[in-house]
Structure 1
Amino acid sequence: MQKRLLLLGLALPFAFAGAASAKDLNVVASFTVLADVVHQVGGDKVKVTSLVQPNGDPHEFQPSPADAKHLKAADVVFVSGEGLEGWMDRLISASGTKNKPVTVSEGIKLNQMEEGGKTVTDPHVWNSPVNVKVWVKNIEAALKAADPEDAAVFTANADSYQKKLDAMDAFAHQKIDKIPEDRRKVLTSHDAFGYFGAEYKVKFLSPLGVSTETEASAANVAKLIDQIKSEGVKTYFFENSNDPRLVKQVAKATGATSGGELYVESLSKQDGPASTYEKMFRFNVEQLSAAMQKNS
């Protein structure tokens, strides 16, 4: 996949802003899903800038000089961690910031998997709202440390959002639990739904590994095609943030039909169906549950 030129990042970053004041925290988040969750906890006491833009791929992101300036000016920097933001160390060095990023996935039980003969960590923890509850605790603690005067606001916002996350989890179970487990199989572009699959007992098949920067061998693609045929997977999805050509190629060879687009590691633009994490998760659950009903 062709990488973006460095200067493309000079466009204005995606930002979540409340009623700005001189006291508000200037916060940077690595990608849009995390930026939204930070905004939910921080409310109008923070101005949040996302480095990766809507519909952008956080694996292949190429930081710009403007991104380095945002990092330098930030009061708090948030990353998900676990290998998602492989570019962050270079950006920190280029920015000259002394702030150590807050890794919000710290404390989450991580999935390990085999990929290319190596054991790798799956970084896509946010595709389960149960994990995002840990994010919220870590974000709340970091914002309180940076702005103790508004600690009560952050606590109230975090408590309110935790209830939303519980409701999202219940919604997913309500939609998926009634589907027989042998029908819970879906083809997607890359292996980004591991935590969703573990939480809701859904089997995801994909031609690429946990990073879109990996390449699928012809042998592995052929093996995947055979597996899809044998398991009767009827529907495939492409993702808003990466190239759909490979998954379409696999689908054509298996007879799977398109279930549409999923929002896996990037929010949509504001006028899209996944402009917040909550909207993104509920949209994906609706799409996936409808597709799994088709499996025989």
Structure 2
Amino acid sequence: MVCSTGMVGEVVERVGGDRVEVVVLMGAGVDPHLYKPSPGDIIALSRADMIVFSGLHLEGKMGEIFERLGRSKPSVPLADGIASGELMETSGGQVDPHVWFDVRLWAEVVNAARDALAGFDPSFSTQYARNAERYRDELIRLDAEVRERIGGIPESRRLLVTAHDAFGYFGRAYAIEVEAIQGISTESEAGVFEINALVDLLVNRKVPAVFIEASVSDRNIRALVEGCAAQGHQVRIGGELFSDSMGEPGTSGGTYAGMVRHNVSTITEALK
């Protein structure tokens, strides 16, 4: 199986168990919005029994490649099956693809992986169903943990400012206000107006910290820090968050749960 991101790869591995061998195209620190396939990626995709990706246009132009290859082999966009009423839109009408930041919502894609694997390999459908149920239960417990920890931040300090608008689902699910310099895709450019407006917000609200992202340049966030300093408000960089990719395999952020817990710890320590 070839999977687009680490988050998708983990879902397939957990549901498929020892029946699947997963290759992840976009590893740690890779921005899926801007990703361009290498010749090796094209070979891996052409040889794969199944392609699994997040969908909702997260993978940018790679989506066209997945769609084309889907004419000859199973090509599964996990998040496309989420009910439209659960999805968020930007002011420009784009669907926000960053659904994994609402852990309960991401748990819904587990069943999509289960159904895809059972359809491809029906003799092991019972095993896939059992693995999916186990993984979903873990995610529901993780969701409750995140809810409790974010709830410990004083309401007046629940403002998460990041480089690009990846945390909308996180904010909606866990009752924390989210602001970003760029839009949902890192292809968008931040202007002076957006940066100045956020500087004013940070100064007026006396927000103590802003956050950089592992897969996005920190240039604009540092501009916020400098802008606040020019107005006499010291705001610090509260830490680095995982947004569009997980950490390196074998590290604390190298699993989905580890990525989520790292982000929550970083946010709560900086804002409490």
Same fold, TM-score > 0.5, yes or no: yes
Is structure 2 residue 3 aligned with structure 1 residue 29? Answer: yes
1:107 aligned to 50, 59, 82, which one?
82
CA drift of 1:137 comes to 0.7
Q: What is the SS of the residue equivalent to 1:120?
A: coil
Partner in structure 2 of residue 20 of structure 1:
none
Q: Distance in 2 between the 1:66 and 1:167 partners?
A: 38
Kindly indicate whether the alpha-carbon contact (under 8 Å) linking 1:72 and 1:96 is maintained by their aligned counterparts in 2: no
Aligned pairs for 1:90-239 within 5 A = 90-92=64-66, 98-105=72-79, 106-108=81-83, 109-114=86-91, 118-239=92-213
2:56 aligned to 82, 107, 122, which one?
82
Partner in structure 2 of residue 292 of structure 1:
271
Q: Distance in 2 between the 1:165 and 1:202 partners?
A: 20
Larger helix proportion of the pair? 2
CA drift of 1:93 comes to 7.4
CA drift of 1:90 comes to 4.2
- Output the TM-score relative to the length of structure 2: 0.92
Kindly indicate whether the alpha-carbon contact (under 8 Å) linking 2:67 and 2:75 is maintained by their aligned counterparts in 1: no
> What are the superposed Cα offsets for residues 149-174 of structure 1, whole Å, 9 maximum, x if unpaired?
11121111111111110111111112
Amino acid at match of 1:86: G
Amino acid at match of 1:166: I
Please provide the CA RMSD for this pair: 1.7
> What are the superposed Cα offsets for residues 23-81 of structure 1, whole Å, 9 maximum, x if unpaired?
xxxx1111111111211111111011111122211111111121111111122211211
- Output the TM-score relative to the length of structure 1: 0.85
Q: What is the SS of the residue equivalent to 1:71?
A: helix
Q: Extract structure 1 runs of 4+ deviating beyond 3 A.
A: 92-97
Q: Give 5+ residue unaligned stretches, structure 2.
A: 229-233
Matched residue count: 264
Kindly indicate whether the alpha-carbon contact (under 8 Å) linking 2:49 and 2:74 is maintained by their aligned counterparts in 1: no
Q: Percent of counterpart pairs with the same letter?
A: 33
1:51 aligned to 22, 25, 50, which one?
25
